[in-house]
Amino acid sequence: MTKRTAIPDPFTRYPFTQPEAVSASISRGRLRASDLTRLSRMIYLPVGTEPELVDRVRAHLAVTPGAWVSHQTAAAIHNMPVPPWLADDELLHLSKPRGLPRVRRRGVVGHEVKFRPSELCYLNGMRISAPARTWLDLAMQLPHEHLVALGDHLLRHPRPGLEGRREPYATKESLDEMLSAHPKMKGVVRCRLALEDMRVGADSVPETLLRLAILYAGLPEPELQLTLVPDDPFSPSGDLGYPEFKIVIQYEGSHHDDEAQRLADARRDRAFRLGGWIVIHVRLDDLREDFRGVIRRISAAIGERAA
């Protein structure tokens, strides 16, 4: 029996293309061996390997000239907060310019789109739809509240030194300009409606969903990222609230279960209460019941302060 030629690194760990195999002197016959599987045309993977999304994308882009990463796949790579039913998509989404044949490959959803060069960017060497364009591309797949939440993510100001960027992904003005460039595209009307409800200051999807629930309940619109002492950079802050009523609302996600974070939260809440504020905590259980109990608490607090 002829001994099987070993596959050299890094091809033992990542998807690789047929041109890459030829460059590494891996024969066509070796590519048909049982220890390799063909992911798609001209793309191979060692059996038993679980490739990362980025590695799968790189391999597909390498053999698909003119294509770029888009839609759900772009959202995943940009770490954009899409709902679970969209984030679980195992298919790769690749786009090409209108007029070129769309990508037709196993495991790939191809899109043929009209675009402007400014709506694409490069991320770690990959051509990909920019976050703002990704928001537009996903408009038809998201309910209004989640489209607003994704838009709020684009508008929020990044935490200094923590996110590798200093500016928001977009402004309301830049998003309006992008929508004006695609007046007949599906999803534009939905994005325009979402744009009306988008605000700067939400740090998470639950914060946006809470704000919208407050508005839908007919309560006054809360301010976002308010501070106990305005213009003091070291002042305790709240996620949402009403300075005129001295009501602050804090959404506490899973990271608030950390001991150090709990102590910081307790100090923050004590400072607000000493200042005469009502502090309302909101948790995941409240989100699961569509914030109905929270709305009652907020309404009662406003009634108390307005009396």
Last residue of a domain, one of 149, 174, 197: 197
**Predicted pLDDT of residue 1:** 44
- Same domain, yes or no: 47 and 155: no
- Same domain, yes or no: 69 and 147: yes
Q: Which one-letter amino acid corresponds to residue 83?
A: P
What pTM was computed for the model?
A: 0.92
**Predicted pLDDT of residue 255:** 63
- d(C-alpha 179, C-alpha 274), whole Å: 47
**Predicted pLDDT of residue 3:** 66
Last residue of a domain, one of 133, 164, 197: 197
Per-residue burial over 190-229, b = 16 or more CB atoms within 10 Å of its CB, e = otherwise: bbeebbebbbebbbbbbbbbbbbbbeeeeeeebbbbbbbe
Domain of residue 234, CATH code:
3.40.960.10
For 116, how many CA atoms within 13 A lie in the half-sphere containing its CB?
11
Residue with the two structure tokens 């308010």: 226
Ranges of residues in the chain with a pLDDT under 70 are 1-3, 254-257
The tally of domains found in the chain comes to 3
Last residue of a domain, one of 51, 67, 90: 51
Structural domain boundaries, residue 47: 1-51
- Same domain, yes or no: 59 and 167: yes
- Same domain, yes or no: 24 and 4: yes
CB proximity list for 21: less than 8 A, separation 6 or greater: 11, 30, 31, 44
Count helices and strands in the chain by DSSP H and E runs: 13, 12
- Same domain, yes or no: 84 and 179: yes
Contact 301, 248 (CB under 8 A): no
H/E stretch holding 165 reads none
**Predicted pLDDT of residue 150:** 98
**Predicted pLDDT of residue 256:** 57
- Same domain, yes or no: 146 and 244: no
- Same domain, yes or no: 6 and 123: no
**Predicted pLDDT of residue 302:** 97
- Same domain, yes or no: 65 and 155: yes
- Same domain, yes or no: 167 and 70: yes
CA distances from 95 to 100, 101, 141 (A): 10, 10, 17
- Same domain, yes or no: 86 and 174: yes
- Same domain, yes or no: 34 and 60: no
Task: Report the interhelical angle of 172-180 vs 188-197 (nearest 10°).
Answer: 160
List 40's β-bridge partners, or say none: 43
Q: Which one-letter amino acid corresponds to residue 69?
A: V
